A and B are shown apart, each in its own frame.
Chain A
Amino acid sequence: MTVTTSGSVVIEDSIFEATGAMQFTAQGGAPVTVREQ
């Protein structure tokens, strides 16, 4: 999954089950929020 955006990044209320390792890299100055996974 690759997302390119100049806006805010919010990852919220998701379930990652049996996915293996996840990596998220944010570039730019917009806020990043990772909440309630």
Chain B
Amino acid sequence: MSSARTTSLTYVADDPSVPVMLELAAGAAATKVVQGNRIGGGMLRISGGDGWQIGGLAAGQGNILIGVRAVLDVADSSNDAIQGQPPASRLPRRVQPGIQSVAGGQLRQRAGRAQRHPRRLVADSRASAVSSATTSSSTAVTTSGAAPADNTQIHHNVFAHASGLNTGYDGAFKFYGGESGLSIYNNTVDVAGTIGGFNAPAFNIGSGSLFQSIRNNLFTAFLDVGSTFGGAFCVLRGCSHGSRVTAADYNGWFNPLAPQSARYRSGIVGNPPGLHDVQANPQLSGQPEVPYRIAEGCIWLGSCTTGQVLSHYRDLYRPAAGSPLVNAGSPADGAGAFIGAVGLNGSHSLDLFGRVVP
């Protein structure tokens, strides 16, 4: 093993690829375990080799990334397990932490803050709370660049805008890496209404990206999507026509501040879209929290666990009794399938958000 260090970190506001505080590289190592570490600024980059165990589901196994540009960047690696990372820090505008990129791995039970320009996308993202702080071109999940993972699934995440007003949004999800077979299901996306001022699409899809399914997701508190994007929540990037999504249905939409916006831009979905969508107040159990209210000190000291944070977000985004999201998910996902990241009472086998990590 070799190591090298420099004497300082240099933060560059418009370059989300730096600085890397700790880089771990390994190729053929039999096991690669990164657990229980705390990084107080900059990115944790893990590169090379497959099957990294990053964090874990047991108490204390998660890594804490906190401070300016607290980012987990996994590159040139596949079949990794990323589990139990507690939330990262508050952040100044234009510099934000979060998952940077994960290729071919699993993201489980992560409570964190925003991502900016990740270069690859999680292959299986589940049970996470990602609170999006704003920057220009703010995007919750972005893919581009080399080797994006095909057949990626993003499911059971809460994406919540938890800072103030900004401009220059490109979309909550932005794909332009030529991915195919993507499935986005059972996510809750809350972009905070007038507080966030989010006037971009939910999905901004590049001409080379192909989706298998967009279903069971809740999109709420959007403003009207600007004409630049064609005035719809699901749009194509850089071109105006062409089917990029095989099926989009059973999604929930509650955007009273966006009366002019269509759900799906004409022609973007192959099958008739949204026949079973819910367009009503989702009747969630809690109110959005802006700004983000989890104290960094509590996380850093380990006094607040990932499970506690996720449980808190479960309480915020759990549909109340009588919610139209209950039993409104795709029947293909089993009886009692629901819309959004959180189910009514945990009775559905996939209603695990906030109920797994201690």
Q: B-contacting residues of A (Cβ < 8 Å)? A: 1-5, 9, 16, 19-37
Main secondary structure of the interface of B (DSSP, over half): strand
Across-interface contacts of A9 in B (CB, < 8 A): 1, 29
Structural contact, A21 and B42, CB atoms closer than 8 A = yes
Across-interface contacts of B36 in A (CB, < 8 A): 35-36
Least Cβ distance of A19 to chain B in Å? Answer: 6
Between A and B, 8 residue pairs with Cβ closer than 8 Å are A2-B1, A21-B20, A22-B3, A25-B2, A25-B24, A29-B28, A32-B24, A33-B35
Interface size on B, residues (CB 8 A): 31
CB-nearest residue of chain B to A29: B28
Q: A-contacting residues of B (Cβ < 8 Å)? A: 1-9, 19-39, 42
Count of CB-CB pairs between chains A and B under 8 Å = 105
Q: Provided the pairs A2-B2, A20-B8, A37-B38 are in contact, do residues A25 and B26 lie with their beta carbons within 8 angstroms?
A: yes
Structural contact, B27 and A22, CB atoms closer than 8 A = no
Across-interface contacts of A35 in B (CB, < 8 A): 33-37
Structural contact, A23 and B30, CB atoms closer than 8 A = no
Structural contact, B9 and A21, CB atoms closer than 8 A = yes
CB-nearest residue of chain A to B6: A20
Please report the C-alpha to C-alpha distance between residue A37 and residue B37 in the assembled complex, in whole angstroms: 5
Please report the C-alpha to C-alpha distance between residue A25 and residue B3 in the assembled complex, in whole angstroms: 6
Which residue of A16, A19, A31 contacts B30 across the interface (Cβ within 8 Å)? A31
Across-interface contacts of B3 in A (CB, < 8 A): 1-3, 22-25
Please report the C-alpha to C-alpha distance between residue A28 and residue B32 in the assembled complex, in whole angstroms: 12
CB-nearest residue of chain A to B2: A2
